[in-house]
Structure 1
Amino acid sequence: MFQNLSIKLKLNLNQEQKESLRQVSLAYRDALNYTSQIAFENGKSSNGTKLQKLVYYKIRERFKLPAQMACNVPRQVSASYKGLWTKFRQNKQAREKGITKKRYKGLDKTPKFASRTCTLNYLRDYSFKNGHKVSIVTLSGRIVVSYSGYNKHIDWIKDKGKIGAAKIFYNRTNKTYYLLVSVEIELPDINPENVSRVYGIDVGQRYLAVKAGIDDSAEFFSGKEIRHKANRYHRARKTLQRKGTRSAKRRLVALSGRERRFIAGINHQISKHIAQPNSLIGLEQLAHIRERTQSKSGKRASKRQRKAKRNKAKWSFAELHSCIDYKAIMNGSLAIKVMANYTSQCCPKCGHVSKENRPNKGLNFVCQSCDYQLHADLVGGRNIALRALLIRQDWISTGILSASPNVSDDEAKAKSLQRFLELRWSPDASPDLSFLRVGVVD
């Protein structure tokens, strides 16, 4: 089993070395913007091979970049244009379906690259030396600089990891250069016999995650702090945007990065609590959830609906799933995706499925068949845990495990869903909530 990680190394530079990295990173950025202009003029092309033929020699001559960097520039621009074209097609489909009336404007003008970063290829543009040093190519030749970082990460570079490409990243706040290195780590395969715990994770907005174990344990991670801070950031942005001065715009950039880092930090802390050793962790397959849960927007929506939509836009469940996934693998555990259908509407005790089981779509689950009552998010977590447990049993009996549900065929999907809906929690499961622990993130 392999896991890709990004390792952050701080470069300890003297003034001359810092100037060398500044020059090469600015030249790389200028080359990106030049190539982006050429791509825009040639039909907004996302063909990397075509772009390289158009700009390679000009980049070498005009910006003095080394050969490998001159190849990386059109590849990076090509990838950016492919992402823009994907958004353009998605927006076109959404307009045809009547989901939105807004037209995507990302390709109306030439995309510009602002960050001072550049991509380096291992053993060509950079290489590691003894004594915690790294050799990096610049416009005036190679420089050898010392680096520092987490001891565990440095050990992976020295002993275990397959090293890939890297990026030079400049942090404007502390005026420091970092090297972000991609490393592929080989980990021992996970034996289903060693999986001693099975959990289901229900993600949401009021509670960012609810962890439900098959041993009746539960842990809640509240999203109240994130929503409170998100509303504060929103009010601050409105004030600064109204002001419109240069200093206000600089403040907006700082606020954007701060909010993003805050949410990412919370997700890392929650995933650290969830990804315990020797566990099988069930996660919902929530692909295209935003498209499936479209609500009113613009003038048609009330103030409360607009606020709810804004909170939903900041719902970073995909980032949380990703953090749980890689942390689980590092701890000898495994995270798998299960079908999300009816996890919040199905009674885990009797199997009755109905929207009426969630009165007013609230946090209280009341089964209309057997009167079983429990916290709605905990019901979702338990249903996910049951589905993960069934997958573990199939894994043990067949020796084959799919980390995500492969149910593209309607008949196969219906058959898998029928198996899941036949699962039952222990008949003596208690509706008493006194055993619940509210997760504290520290």
Structure 2
Amino acid sequence: MFLTKTVILKIANPDNDLVETMKKYSDGMNYASEIVFDKGKPISAMKLQQEVYPYLRETLKLKSQMSCNIPRQVAGCYKTLKKQKKVKWQKVEFSPSSMTFSYKRDFVIDEDTVKITTINGRKAYSILNYDYAKQYFDGSWKYQASKVVKQRDGNYYFHLCVGKEIPDKELTDASTFMGIDVGMNYLAVASTTDRKCSFFAGGEIKNLRNQYKSMRKRLQSKGTLSAKRMLKYISGKEKRLMRDVNHTISKEIVKFAIEKGISVIGLEDLTGIRDSTLSKVSKKRRHNHSSWAFRQLQTFIEYKAKEVGIITHYVDPSYTSQTCIRCNHISKNNRNRLSFRCEKCDYANNADLIGAMNIEHKTRDYRYILKSQGCLSATQTNA
């Protein structure tokens, strides 16, 4: 299994060469973007490179590797756009706030310095190395394509992408399981095989998002240019808030899993669930439902768990909040908002906790199915 991480390091002494290189890089991205947009459909990175490479090298004076990175990024961006069925074909515009570099060809790095290829040659920049980041310079990690990013505060950061092989773990060898139910009342609820549980509250975040919602409503009614700028600012601030919260919650969940000796964390496969359930949600709650970063939280849990050797497995989310964990009776009447009471056996509990229990149960069942199939195959082979 290959584990990847992005380590963010502040560049202490950015200069005009770096700024100008990023500007020319974004100019090249926009030039390539316009060519793809005019064609009305995505094209391969190789074909795009053939069309834009001379301009990038001769007019913009970009280095050869940069001139290869640009068509790959732009082609990939439009392929992703095409896959999003609800998004219309549109021209993608790039700002001079991010630039991709290839390891060794465009940059080399150590604990204190990153040497970057600019339009005026290779230059050394000091980086502020943090205690948590020093582990990624011990020689066990491989450096990959990385980025320089200009943040809203005007500072420049090097987003170093690192990776390394870690031992694979088989789900069939697991013995301890935990299910995670994600939601808006509680950001997450965890339940283990031996019924240890933990609630990760989201009430404060919900209140903050309601405040943002009220602000958006007032600004949208004004419709002025300054109001639109503020709307964009609020949107970015809200996304950063959710990202920080999801990082914190995922860290706490994985810590809880380590403490309980968990081998596998079960999560709901939420692919497509946002669109399929949106019509069932009242208009008043639709914004929260559609914009809540459930999948982001799951992704953070997944990669943090992988780092410490815990497997993650996704299960079918059907009826996890409607199934009685005691008698397996399924009914939408079993759940009433935050409460769960089985109409058949009268078992009662918190509805989100019931969801986490059922996810853990489905994950454990899947392990036994795999185990039994393996045994069957071995028996047939020996026969």
Q: Shared topology, TM-score over 0.5?
A: yes
Q: Does residue 1:85 correspond to 2:66, yes or no?
A: no
Q: Does residue 1:63 correspond to 2:60, yes or no?
A: yes
User: Structure 1 residues 251 and 158 mapped into 2: Cα distance closer, same or farther (>3 Å)?
Assistant: farther
User: Structure 1 residues 50 and 265 mapped into 2: Cα distance closer, same or farther (>3 Å)?
Assistant: same
Q: 2:100 & 2:192 partners in 1: Cα distance?
A: 43
Counterpart pick for 1:211 among 181, 186, 190: 190
Q: 2:272 & 2:100 partners in 1: Cα distance?
A: 31
Q: 2:4 & 2:107 partners in 1: Cα distance?
A: 19
Q: Does residue 1:372 correspond to 2:347, yes or no?
A: yes
> Equivalent residue for 1:433?
none
Q: CA RMSD in A?
A: 2.4
| AA partner of residue 108 (structure 2) | S
Of all paired residues, the percent bearing the same amino acid is: 39
Q: Secondary structure at the match of 1:119?
A: strand
Q: Secondary structure at the match of 2:179?
A: strand
> Equivalent residue for 2:44?
47
Q: 1:243 & 1:138 partners in 2: Cα distance?
A: 44
Tell me the CA shift for residue 306 of structure 1. 2.1
Q: 2:15 & 2:173 partners in 1: Cα distance?
A: 50
Q: 1:240 & 1:288 partners in 2: Cα distance?
A: 31
| AA partner of residue 369 (structure 1) | K
Contact 1:125 1:136 in 2 (8 A): yes
User: Structure 1 residues 155 and 235 mapped into 2: Cα distance closer, same or farther (>3 Å)?
Assistant: same
Which residues of structure 1 form unaligned runs of 5+? Answer: 92-103, 297-303, 401-442
Tell me the CA shift for residue 238 of structure 1. 3.0
| AA partner of residue 274 (structure 2) | R
Q: Does residue 1:111 correspond to 2:92, yes or no?
A: yes
> Equivalent residue for 1:283?
267
Q: Secondary structure at the match of 1:40?
A: helix
> Equivalent residue for 1:270?
249
Q: Does residue 1:317 correspond to 2:294, yes or no?
A: yes
Q: Does residue 1:176 correspond to 2:155, yes or no?
A: yes
Tell me the CA shift for residue 396 of structure 1. 6.4
> Equivalent residue for 2:109?
128
Q: Secondary structure at the match of 1:342?
A: coil
> Equivalent residue for 2:380?
none
Contact 2:112 2:129 in 1 (8 A): no
Which residues of structure 2 form unaligned runs of 5+? Answer: 376-383
Q: 1:390 & 1:30 partners in 2: Cα distance?
A: 53
1:237-316 → structure 2 map (5 Å cutoff): 237-275=216-254, 276-277=257-258, 278-279=261-262, 280-295=264-279, 305-316=282-293
Post-superposition Cα deviations, 1:130-152, rounded to whole Å, max 9, x if no partner, equal x5211100011110112123334
- Most deviating of 181-190 and 51-60: 181-190
Counterpart pick for 1:331 among 287, 308, 331: 308
| AA partner of residue 323 (structure 2) | C
Contact 2:3 2:165 in 1 (8 A): yes
Tell me the CA shift for residue 159 of structure 1. 1.4
Q: Secondary structure at the match of 2:66?
A: helix
Tell me the CA shift for residue 399 of structure 1. 7.5
Tell me the CA shift for residue 40 of structure 1. 1.7
> Equivalent residue for 1:419?
none
Contact 2:266 2:359 in 1 (8 A): yes
Contact 2:22 2:96 in 1 (8 A): no
Tell me the CA shift for residue 45 of structure 1. 3.3
Post-superposition Cα deviations, 1:406-442, rounded to whole Å, max 9, x if no partner, equal xxxxxxxxxxxxxxxxxxxxxxxxxxxxxxxxxxxxx
Q: Secondary structure at the match of 2:147?
A: strand
- Most deviating of 216-225 and 78-87: 216-225
Q: TM-score, normalised by structure 2?
A: 0.89
Q: TM-score, normalised by structure 1?
A: 0.78
Tell me the CA shift for residue 167 of structure 1. 0.8
Counterpart pick for 1:32 among 24, 29, 32: 29
Contact 1:46 1:79 in 2 (8 A): no
- Most deviating of 250-259 and 310-319: 250-259
- Most deviating of 261-270 and 145-154: 145-154
When the two structures are aligned, how many residues end up with a matched partner? 370
Contact 2:32 2:74 in 1 (8 A): yes
> Equivalent residue for 1:5?
5
Contact 1:5 1:185 in 2 (8 A): no
Tell me the CA shift for residue 203 of structure 1. 1.3
Tell me the CA shift for residue 186 of structure 1. 2.5
User: Structure 1 residues 23 and 268 mapped into 2: Cα distance closer, same or farther (>3 Å)?
Assistant: same
> Equivalent residue for 2:180?
201
Q: 2:229 & 2:241 partners in 1: Cα distance?
A: 19
Q: 1:48 & 1:222 partners in 2: Cα distance?
A: 45
Q: 1:219 & 1:148 partners in 2: Cα distance?
A: 37
Contact 1:136 1:143 in 2 (8 A): yes
Post-superposition Cα deviations, 1:241-275, rounded to whole Å, max 9, x if no partner, equal 44445544443333222111111111111111211
| AA partner of residue 293 (structure 1) | T
Q: Secondary structure at the match of 2:40?
A: coil
Q: 1:115 & 1:26 partners in 2: Cα distance?
A: 5
Q: 1:43 & 1:396 partners in 2: Cα distance?
A: 50
